[in-house]
Chain A
Amino acid sequence: MRVTERYINGVVLTGLLVLPIWALAMDEPFTITLATRAVVLALAAVGLNLALGLGGMVSLGHAAFFGLGGYTMGILAYHAQTYSTLNLGLFSTDGTTSMPLIWLSAMVISALVAFFIGMLSLRTTGVYFIMITLAFGQMFFYFAISWAQYGGEDGLSIYVRNGFPGLNTLVPIQFFGICFTLLCIVLFLFARLQASPFGLALNATRQTRSRVQAVGLNPTRIRLLAFVLSGAITGLAGALFADLNRFVSPTMFSWQLSGELIVLIVIGGVGRLMGPVIGACVFVALEHFLGALTDYWHVYLGVVLLCIVLFGRGGLIGLLTGKEGAHV
């Protein structure tokens, strides 16, 4: 049976919305938390999909932005909750527990860092790019470990989840609602961007760089902008992830997480709008069900992944629609 991608997208989003509501009715808050986790991971992977899927930049260091978002939330909330002042030289702040402000800060900081990493790493392509992004990601990991003021290796606990005007974020379904809404907004923007002149140009830089240059566009600038946007979205997801766990630690910067974000995209389908969302749902489900069966579920994940790479092309969406490529 072949179905269209649009149909799959609708089913997945509806399912992701109905599951927590059903869990609320059945009084199973843990399922809501699992769904929130899937939504937040999906958001992070949508960010990466912009760079990796559309722009063909295989970044193995996106955990850097995820962690930066997390630590932005952790540091701002830490100062607000301990009534201490964060002094940054030029300006100082007393921190905040307001989610919108935290999101904005997380996105701005991630975007700035993405700009610098992009400036350096986009001078190169291919394998160099992979290794350099991986190395910069690791740089933040070690920096977070040695930064004793904010918990170092032990991480930083935030005891009360940050607030959103008019909502009680400590109620799981309300926090899910916030995350789900953000995911939908970002997916909408992603779809618009994909179809915009910028998206088309980005797609073209992935396919034939020299032709983009020949029509008078600057491929490096296009790729850099995409990388910055991608970092900002992943940073936003990091802030939400930290709020979900009420905890940040250097593991948010770990290279395994960067790898897992790529895995999410590939399970669903590279460069597809809903690829990361499907990937995140499958991943969280695998983690939950296989993890309950055996502590060594990563072995099976590895085998599944190998099979996808060696035998299946186009991820789950490709399998269902019968179309390998995302850009037909």
Chain B
Amino acid sequence: MSSILIVEQILNGLQFGVMLFLMAAGLTLIFGVMGLINLAHGSLYMVGAFAAAAVAGATGSFFLGLVAALASAALAGAIIEIVVIRRLYDAPHLDQVLATFALILIFSEGTRWFFGSFPLFLNIPQALSGPVTLPGGIEYPLYRLSLIVIGVAIAGGLWLFIERTRIGIQIRAGENDREMIAVLGVDISKLYTLVFALGAALAGLAGALVGAIQSVQVGMGEPVLILAFVVIVIGGIGSIRGAFIGALLVGLTDTLGGVFLPEFLGLFMEPGAAQKSGSAIASMGIYILMGLVLIWRPTGLFGARA
């Protein structure tokens, strides 16, 4: 096994990880601030991807597609927050699960109704296509490399936004004590809509960016949503930093496990059996990781201690 392959797979894992972070950041913010579990977050990912594919297909501009993804996902997020989610903040978790499950059904089947069952395709922009040579002579797709850069940049921006801006301070205050900041004159329902729309926009952006390397289809959001849940459980609910570390851990474990576990088992098994059991075990890798973290720290790596 060459070191080039290892570096390539690590980069793939990082790319997967930062995209998961975009999903997980919104989920964990929404949970941290509003105490809401949002299963429909995957639908917002899908909305972003479809909007990007439709607009990029019509105009030929990938950049306009991204703008459309951000705008439509944020808009969809704001609408469902105002119409449905707002009534659920004080409801039991069961109601939140059901209502957001219902939203998934409506979004998924509605999208199928509108766009049909066939996947759409979103092409990588010309300027970012093709490979790039990294130091050490490693060829790596430029687009995937840009995804890593964009993801890390957004993570940094989000950190600045939460830590350094006035709205960020209000969001953090809202996590701690929502009555208190309402008393201090912050319009809490506007703040909630804003946080929800921000989370939705991040999900939509992730959907559009990933949509260019996978196909854009109904049901694309839910597998990512569940991975994002694993990320949050590992990182600790409500913690942006935990979401970032958790996302990278999950991305790397999933990618590297899928490639290296069969090879590793091949050292002491026959190749066919090693390939089969290796890929079967690798598919469970991140859940095993989650189990281990739970045994060690039930509230996640960066979660508040119970």
Contact = CB atoms under 8 A, between A and B. Distances in A.
A138 interface: yes
A60 B100 CA distance: 13
Q: How large is the interface on A (under 10, 10 to 19, 20 to 34, 35 or more residues)?
A: 35 or more
Given A136-B287, A143-B284, A262 B101 contact: yes
Interface stretch (B7-15, B190-198, B209-217, B275-283): B275-283
A11 interface: no
Query: Interface size bucket, B side?
Result: 35 or more
Interface of A: 52, 58, 60, 120-121, 123-124, 126-128, 130-132, 134-136, 138-139, 142-143, 145-149, 255, 259, 262-263, 266, 270, 296-299, 301-303, 305-306, 308-310
Interface of B is mostly: helix
B105 A120 contact: no
Nearest to A129: B93
Contact of B37 (A52, A127, A139): A127
Given A146-B280, A262-B101, A309 B95 contact: yes
A135 B102 contact: no
B283 A259 contact: no
* Nearest 6 interchain pairs by C-beta: A302-B105, A139-B287, A305-B102, A302-B106, A142-B283, A131-B229
Contacts of B110: 296, 299
Nearest to B300: A128
B22 interface: no
Contact of B98 (A124, A146, A305): A305
Contacts of A147: 280
Nearest to A138: B226
B229 A134 contact: yes
Main secondary structure of the interface of A (DSSP, over half): helix
Contact of B299 (A124, A142, A266, A298): A124
Given A124-B298, A299-B109, A135 B226 contact: yes
Contact of B276 (A148, A255, A263, A303): A148
A60 B113 CA distance: 27
30 contacts: A52-B94, A58-B93, A124-B294, A124-B299, A127-B31, A128-B299, A130-B37, A130-B97, A131-B37, A131-B232, A134-B229, A135-B287, A138-B287, A139-B284, A139-B287, A255-B222, A259-B97, A262-B94, A263-B101, A266-B98, A299-B109, A302-B104, A302-B105, A303-B106, A305-B98, A305-B99, A305-B101, A306-B99, A306-B102, A309-B102
Contact of A298 (B97, B98, B108): B108
B120 interface: no
Interface in B63-108: 84, 87-88, 91, 93-95, 97-99, 101-106, 108
A310 B283 CA distance: 38
B98 A301 contact: no
A145 B283 contact: yes
